Chain A
Amino acid sequence: MEFLGIALSLIGAGMAAGMAGIGSAMGVGIAGEAAAGVMTEDPGKFGSCLVFQALPGTQGIYGLLTAFFVLNKIGALTGSLAVVTWQQGLGIFASCLPIALVGWMSALYQGRASAASIQMIARKPEEMGKAIILPAMVETYAVLALLTSILMLMGVQV
């Protein structure tokens, strides 16, 4: 039982980085397909397409950030593991859920919104400002989830 706390924390960290990363990979992939389609017509749009493709990538970073937070908390980075009870471990695990779940789904849907925006600037490059806001609306929830995860993590004393 003595390592259950650590194990739960590590599962949490893994899910945060893993699931948010999966979501970002899917989102960036979807946006990338759309970007490649647009660039076959006009390779000059590479710059703006890249911006749109990068947008759903942040969730993966948020997940990584949360995972590092957890690893740092349980001392996995310095090599001297802290003593984590199973209750604390469960708390840390729960803290990872917001960014793991929301990161995954929001990146996926942000990828779709990005792809649509890429189509939009293909026809109307001057509407870049509006096009960039639409996918950014989706990211709000990933930002909120990150905030929730971090505040929760800070609440768990180890």
Chain B
Amino acid sequence: MGVTKLKKAELYYHKSVRSAVAAALQQSGACHIIEGGPPSQGRTDATSALAECEERLAAIRYLFRVLTPFYSDPASSIGQALGDKPVVSLSDLEKTAAGTDLSALAASVRSVESALSDLRTEMSQMKANLDVFSNIEDFPYPLSVLTNGTAVLAASLGTIPEQNLSALSSEMAALAQRTELFVAAPKPQSKKDAPAWVVLMYERDVAKDVIDAASRCGVTLVPFSLGTTVPLGTTVPLGTTVPLGTTVPLGTTVGTDAAKMSGAVADEEAKVAARLRECEAREAEMLNGLRRAAAVHMPTLQRLSDYWGMMAERWQAMLEGTETEAVCVTSFWIPEAAVPQLQRQLDAIGGVALVASDPAEDDVPPVLLHNKRVFRPFEILTTLYAPPPYGETDPTPLLAPFFFVFFGMCLGDAGYAVVMLGVLWFVLRKYGRMPSGAREFLILFVLGAVSTFIYGVISGSFFGDFIDAFPSLPLMKPLKELKDSLMLIDPMKDPMRVLVISLLLGVVHLLFGLAIGAYDHIRHGRHLDALGDKIAWIFFVGGITLFCMGTTNAVSQFTGSFGGSVAAVGAVLIFWYAGREKKGIFSKALSGFLALYGSTSYLGDVLSYSRLLALGFGSAVIGMIMNLLGGMAAGIPVVGWLLAVVVVIGGQLFGLLINVLGAFVHSLRLQYVEFFSKFYTGGGVPFRPLAVSTRFVEVK
């Protein structure tokens, strides 16, 4: 049940048809390649083909990184994940791949990128210089004093805390004949305790004294390297082999040369500002160029990314297995049913021998779940935990009905269910070519919504108490009559009854899990394990439940006391068999008591199902609160009704999202923690066939 029968296949083929064989295996999408085999010599064709793929992919990754910020993809990533991608034939892809020189494209983009970064370095330097200029605007001498000096004169620029200025003046005065101090007028908008800007001018032979004096007074020297020349804009050949839109004209070299900064501050400032504007224009031009390049090339790159990714996977698979001088062997697992189809495809190639055999004793085949249509959406729940080992029970059909009921009880609102069904119907219709995994996952929620609807009707919850909260709306009166006539339990008024139902469902779930465990033990001939670890507990838990129901008169006195006796038999069995592998009467007895103590964990397990009540309660009350808030808002004059609509719709959507998450997680937890612990450990290897898996396009 549930696990597809696999064959172990060995494929022998001549090296010359390796490429065709690889393509056939990938197209079939049914072959789980067995990894391993000693790396043998002489698989140069596969190795070099793989290396080529990796090289292309590296170029594509680089281009994606640079160009993606400049590209607005018309296809949304959600749409892509749901299968809304263009269909492209393999031969078209091959043609595009052959006709595109990725490395040239990468090289040209790389040169634009580096030119851009050089330009930005230069621009930030210009901005720094403009900042300096703005602080020494009243410097009376030409800037050449600062940048070059003269044969005897040099100058340094710096900042100094306001209060140290007088100290500096007197220090400089000591060398008065050979120095001059310029203090810039503070900028009108500068902050109160901003440092003052100074230029120290001195004869070269007292430079050391001046600098020492300056540092004593706390002068911070500002390096004034006006323009290291950046080789700006060698025109980048953006359109050589690859038609990369139009060539980005990068213009001629603009150099800012320190030596040329010789005029008055205001003149130089104007020059730099003009150059900066020029550079900004150039930057904008380059960014536009990249944007154009992204628009032209991104669609192609996306296709190639899928193509080369597909090829890389193919060649990676071909590296597994062994080979001799001329013959290669690739081993893989394949579903029994898929063998004839693959055989036909391989026969078309010729020179290929396929040997399929049953798995040997010590093989560990991967696991491909296969269930009846109705259970298929639930397979993802099993896979999320871990698939069963090959040949063991697939828990999917076993957990499905419980998950269905639990999800409904946790969400438990007919209104939410209607919204979910509407949204899911829309998505499933809109994205007709959705990958099967995503489709099954959505169908799981469709089923959950159906269950939610049923429980919502039973418990009379429609967007919380919407029907009762707004009786004056049209249609509410007949709806209320309908609701009241269909309502079986009211969790608000009678929570204890729902609690008992939740716990009883829990007991059933646990007993079912134990029964499966017992069945598995018996199937493998471990009869004592089945009796001592599973059946004894079924007696014990089931008996105690009946006994408790007897004491509250839910069942007859006789049934209750019968339950008590069954529980006693169970307890004895548990005690007796717990120490079956221990030696000595004391350790046997100790194991027995410890095993009985384990009943507390069953108590915990059962009580855990009270979440079914609590979460159902939660969604109903959140709905109620939103209706209440809406009702309050409706009381506000004039805009009240509008506010009420916004509050109720927004609030209910919020409640829906939070509660769907909660219902999913908690129903799942009851399967994984309470149910699976009774019989299931997982541990299988998932079946991962070599297949065509793409992100941007669908390959026909």
> Any chain B CB within 8 A of the CB of A150?
yes
How many chain A residues sit at the interface, stated as a range, is 20 to 34
| Neighbouring A residues of B662 by C-beta, 8 Å | 58
| Neighbouring A residues of B445 by C-beta, 8 Å | none
| A contact face: mostly helix, strand, loop, or mixed | helix
Shortest CB–CB separation between residue B202 and chain A, in angstroms? Answer: 51
Shortest CB–CB separation between residue A85 and chain B, in angstroms? Answer: 24
A-B pair count, CB < 8 Å, reads 76
Of B381, B613, B615, B621, the residue contacting A69 (CB under 8 A) is B621
Q: Are B615 and A132 in contact (CB under 8 A)?
A: no
Query: With A129-B384, A150-B617 given, is the CB distance from A140 to B668 under 8 Å?
Result: no
Shortest CB–CB separation between residue A50 and chain B, in angstroms? Answer: 10
Q: Are B614 and A133 in contact (CB under 8 A)?
A: no
> Any chain A CB within 8 A of the CB of B561?
no
| Neighbouring B residues of A156 by C-beta, 8 Å | none
> Any chain B CB within 8 A of the CB of A65?
yes
Tell me the nearest residue of chain B to A147, going by C-beta: B614
Bound-state Cα–Cα, A69 to B673, Å: 31
> Any chain B CB within 8 A of the CB of A136?
yes
> Any chain B CB within 8 A of the CB of A54?
yes
> Any chain A CB within 8 A of the CB of B666?
yes
Q: Are B495 and A151 in contact (CB under 8 A)?
A: yes
Q: Which of B613-638 contact A (CB under 8 A)?
A: 613-615, 617-618, 621-622, 624-625, 628, 632
Shortest CB–CB separation between residue A11 and chain B, in angstroms? Answer: 20
| Neighbouring B residues of A132 by C-beta, 8 Å | 665, 668
> Any chain A CB within 8 A of the CB of B669?
yes
Shortest CB–CB separation between residue B149 and chain A, in angstroms? Answer: 48
Bound-state Cα–Cα, A150 to B494, Å: 12
> Any chain B CB within 8 A of the CB of A68?
yes
Q: Are B610 and A58 in contact (CB under 8 A)?
A: no
> Any chain B CB within 8 A of the CB of A154?
yes
> Any chain A CB within 8 A of the CB of B224?
no
Q: Are A58 and B658 in contact (CB under 8 A)?
A: yes
Bound-state Cα–Cα, A151 to B499, Å: 10
Of B77, B614, B621, B668, the residue contacting A143 (CB under 8 A) is B614
> Any chain B CB within 8 A of the CB of A146?
yes
Q: Are A65 and B669 in contact (CB under 8 A)?
A: no
> Any chain A CB within 8 A of the CB of B672?
yes
Of A61, A77, A140, the residue contacting B618 (CB under 8 A) is A61
Tell me the nearest residue of chain A to B666, going by C-beta: A136
Shortest CB–CB separation between residue A135 and chain B, in angstroms? Answer: 9
Tell me the nearest residue of chain B to A135, going by C-beta: B665
> Any chain B CB within 8 A of the CB of A57?
yes
Bound-state Cα–Cα, A139 to B665, Å: 10
| Chain B 77-111 near chain A by CB (<8 Å), digits 1 or 0 | 10000000000000000000000000000000000
> Any chain B CB within 8 A of the CB of A64?
yes
| Chain B 436-472 near chain A by CB (<8 Å), digits 1 or 0 | 0000000000000000000000000000000000000
Tell me the nearest residue of chain A to B494, going by C-beta: A154
> Any chain A CB within 8 A of the CB of B7?
no
Q: Are A130 and B385 in contact (CB under 8 A)?
A: yes
Shortest CB–CB separation between residue A155 and chain B, in angstroms? Answer: 11
Q: Are A61 and B614 in contact (CB under 8 A)?
A: no
Bound-state Cα–Cα, A57 to B655, Å: 12
Shortest CB–CB separation between residue B115 and chain A, in angstroms? Answer: 28
> Any chain B CB within 8 A of the CB of A128?
yes
Of B617, B618, B661, the residue contacting A54 (CB under 8 A) is B661
| Neighbouring B residues of A150 by C-beta, 8 Å | 495, 614, 617
| Neighbouring A residues of B661 by C-beta, 8 Å | 51, 54-55
| Neighbouring B residues of A82 by C-beta, 8 Å | none
Shortest CB–CB separation between residue B291 and chain A, in angstroms? Answer: 21
Which of A64, A69, A147, A154: most chain B CB closer than 10 A? Answer: A147
Tell me the nearest residue of chain A to B493, going by C-beta: A154
Q: Are A147 and B613 in contact (CB under 8 A)?
A: yes
Shortest CB–CB separation between residue A35 and chain B, in angstroms? Answer: 15
| Neighbouring A residues of B669 by C-beta, 8 Å | 133, 136-137, 140
Shortest CB–CB separation between residue A52 and chain B, in angstroms? Answer: 10
Shortest CB–CB separation between residue B304 and chain A, in angstroms? Answer: 20
Query: With A54-B658, A61-B658, A154-B495 given, is the CB distance from A133 to B618 under 8 Å?
Result: no
Of A55, A58, A64, the residue contacting B625 (CB under 8 A) is A64
> Any chain A CB within 8 A of the CB of B611?
yes
Bound-state Cα–Cα, A59 to B385, Å: 26
Q: Are B658 and A143 in contact (CB under 8 A)?
A: no
> Any chain A CB within 8 A of the CB of B608?
yes
| Neighbouring B residues of A143 by C-beta, 8 Å | 610-611, 614-615, 666
> Any chain B CB within 8 A of the CB of A104?
no
Shortest CB–CB separation between residue B667 and chain A, in angstroms? Answer: 10
Which of B608, B615, B618, B668: most chain A CB closer than 10 A? Answer: B618
Q: Which of B667-697 contact A (CB under 8 A)?
A: 668-669, 672-673
| Neighbouring B residues of A109 by C-beta, 8 Å | none
Q: What are 27 A-to-B residue pairs whose CB atoms are below 8 Å?
A: A54-B658, A55-B661, A61-B622, A65-B622, A68-B625, A129-B383, A129-B384, A129-B385, A129-B672, A130-B385, A132-B665, A132-B668, A133-B672, A136-B665, A137-B669, A139-B665, A143-B615, A143-B666, A144-B607, A144-B614, A146-B617, A147-B499, A147-B610, A147-B611, A147-B613, A147-B614, A147-B617
Q: Which 4 A-B pairs have the closest CB atoms?
A: A129-B384, A147-B614, A143-B611, A143-B614
Q: Which residues of B approach A to under 8 Å, CB–CB? A: 77, 381, 383-385, 495, 499, 607-608, 610-611, 613-615, 617-618, 621-622, 624-625, 628, 632, 658, 661-662, 665-666, 668-669, 672-673
